[in-house]
Amino acid sequence: MGKGNSDNVFIACIKIVKSRLSNERFKHSLNVANEAKRLAKRYGMDPQKAEIAGILHDIFKEAPREEHLQILNRFGIILTDIEKKSFKLWHAITGSAYVKHVLHIKDIDIYNAIRYHTSARGGMSLLEKIVFVADFTSKDRNYGDVDRIREDATISLEKAMRSGLKYTIRELLSKNLPIDPGSIAAYNELVLKKFREI
């Protein structure tokens, strides 16, 4: 993507996302786009690509159940048993498919950043990590751990990811919900990496 072109893509994405989300969720998406852009500059990633992935990450967050099912059917996506029971993961799965097949944004890294922004997975790319962390540290966030994760993000993306995953896994445990194997893989990878650093 050239600079001019990606500016246009970003503006087009803003319009589509605005039309699909409540005002509050739209603002969150803009904040995540902004935060992803900031983290991209800090950690050496293309800021415009990060901004596009950020604005799109929750595009299906408010889609009705029927629309999720329609996308799953249309693109032959088979959910695992865990995914079936984890409604929070659906918007990442269907949203990424929508961006790829309907909006025709074919960049695989943007697709994966949306696809794994909630569950995470092992072997995440820099962009995937940036969007995952930006979703935790965006301006609109005000949950208990937010200041710590923001501080972690100034030190390293991995540190912020580790804190974010712990928060997510703790939440799921407290609600007796299943944990996606991707989250466990990402968590283990980050913790083992930390041991190697010591």
Contact 116, 182 (CB under 8 A): yes
Q: Which region, judged by CB under 5 A, interacts with Fe ion, from 48-56, 65-73, 99-107, 127-135?
A: 127-135
Report the residue number, 35 or 135, with the smaller CB distance to Fe ion: 135
Taking the C-alpha atoms of residue 187 and residue 181, their distance in angstroms, rounded to an integer, is 10
Q: Which of 14, 26, 36, 58 binds Fe ion (CB under 5 A)?
A: 58
Q: How far is the CB of 2 from Fe ion (least distance, A)?
A: 28
Told to check if 35 binds Fe ion by CB under 5 A, we report no
Q: Which of 51, 128, 135, 189 binds Fe ion (CB under 5 A)?
A: 135
Report the residue number, 83 or 135, with the smaller CB distance to Fe ion: 135
Q: Which region, judged by CB under 5 A, interacts with Fe ion, from 74-82, 119-127, 129-137, 165-173?
A: 129-137
Taking the C-alpha atoms of residue 40 and residue 59, their distance in angstroms, rounded to an integer, is 21
Q: Which region, judged by CB under 5 A, interacts with Fe ion, from 38-46, 76-84, 128-136, 145-153?
A: 128-136
DSSP string, 12-78: HHHHHHHHHS-HHHHHHHHHHHHHHHHHHHHHTS-HHHHHHHHHHTTTTTT--HHHHHHHHHHTTPP
Report the residue number, 2 or 98, with the smaller CB distance to Fe ion: 98
User: Residue with structure tokens 């912020």?
Assistant: 160
Question: b/e map of 83-92 (b: 16 or more CB within 10 Å)?
Answer: beebeebbbb
Report the residue number, 58 or 128, with the smaller CB distance to Fe ion: 58
Q: How far is the CB of 162 from Fe ion (least distance, A)?
A: 19
Q: SS3 breakdown of the chain: % helix, strand, coil, rounded to 5?
A: 75, 0, 25
Structure token pair of residue 13: 């994405």
Report the residue number, 9 or 89, with the smaller CB distance to Fe ion: 89
Q: How far is the CB of 54 from Fe ion (least distance, A)?
A: 9
User: Residue with structure tokens 């968590």?
Assistant: 187
- Which residues contact Fe ion by CB under 5 A? 58, 135
